[in-house]
Amino acid sequence: MSERHAFPSRLGYIYREIAKFGVVGLAGVVVNVLAFNVIRHGLGLQTVRASVIATLVAIGFNYIGLRYFTYRDRGAGGHTRELPLFLLFSLVGLVIENSVLYAATYGFGWDSQLQSNFFKFVGIGVATVFRFWSYRTWVFKALPAGSAAAEAESVLAEADRQPAAQEARTSTLRT
């Protein structure tokens, strides 16, 4: 593939990855916020405790979605490395997300249902930027570019050779 065509192709891949991450993330946000509201208002737990529990539920949901939908094309052989890294970066995201909610609730006294949900969303948004970067960089690593490119080039070269060989046989049969 020429350099001129490589960039748009790579850009399209990143856009698809962001879209898939967004689909899983949006579903995870729904799980997170629903769990938060059920735990907070249905069970009466304190705001940040309810949020931490809801975030843990969403982390489990998101791992399944990311592993088997967003990053299913990435090597799955490193589960022993992948899961601990996912949990580590998810816990950092949990701290980021709930720090925003903690500051709003206990720092500013904003603890109504509307305020709690608003700052829950803000925290999720800030943590999502970190999670996207960390998951794609460290957890669900892409296959090495050199080996994938070499394999693709060998397949293309073989495909180019086959029509040439077929044409040579056809022209020999005609004469």
Integer Cα distance of 11 and 27 in angstroms = 24
- Torsion angle of C-alpha atoms 167, 149, 70, 68, degrees rounded to 10: 80
Integer Cα distance of 47 and 117 in angstroms = 10
Residue type at position 53: I
- Please check the confidence at residue 127 and state whether its pLDDT lies above 80: yes
Burial of residue 110 (number of CB atoms within 10 Å: 0-12, 13-18, 19+): middle
Q: Which of the residue ranges 11-20, 103-112, 152-161 would you say has the lowest mean pLDDT? A: 152-161
Confidence (pLDDT) at 141:
77
Enumerate the domain spans of the chain: 3-142, 146-175
Confidence (pLDDT) at 92:
97
Integer Cα distance of 6 and 119 in angstroms = 41
Q: How large a percentage of the chain has pLDDT more than 70?
A: 73
Confidence (pLDDT) at 34:
98
| Count of positions (residues) in the chain | 175
Confidence (pLDDT) at 75:
67
The per-residue pLDDT for range 58-68, each reduced to its tens digit, is 999 999 998 88
Confidence (pLDDT) at 165:
55
